[in-house]
Structure 1
Amino acid sequence: MTTSRRPRRADTKAELEAKIEQQRVDILVAASRWRSATRPIDDGWRTLMRFKAPLYAAGGLLLLRLGRHPGRLLRLGRRAAAGALVVNRARRLLR
């Protein structure tokens, strides 16, 4: 007793499966784009993690030395922040 207006169950199932397959393809494409967009950040993080122990040691020595004179530490922090901003601006200008 199927009417011509009402789609058959097999047709509906085929349409839904096609939609699901298209969504899977869309997700795979989006994931690939996401990985390629975040690759520089991931590479930088891996590089940083490779030098984690020496960075901890150098930071500890620096804080030990500068911790006795907080004014030096504040001045060094300001200079480091200003230097980072200059480097960031230079990178943007060179692009």
Structure 2
Amino acid sequence: MTTKSPSARQLRRQRKAALETQIEQQRVDLMVESSRWLGATQQIDSTFQRFKLPTYALGGLALLASARHPHALVRFAQRGIAGVLLLRRAQRLLKMLRR
């Protein structure tokens, strides 16, 4: 009783079938996770969609204003940077005082 070992072609077919099964399972997993992700981020997406148009409108108005008065944009940027630096310094000071 001799058993015949599978040929290389049969081994390739088996390997291909196993890989196709694995790929199909990965696709199913991806679809399930995609649905979960969309459900989890639905609130964020709806909020973004609600504020998208006003944000673009304000950006356009700011762009027009900066085109008409470029120096005002520079002043605004300087004040913004100064404000951020002031907030950071205040946070560091509060951390030091809490110790």
* TM-score of the aligned structures, taking structure 1 as reference length: 0.48
Scaled by the length of structure 2, what TM-score is found?
Answer: 0.47
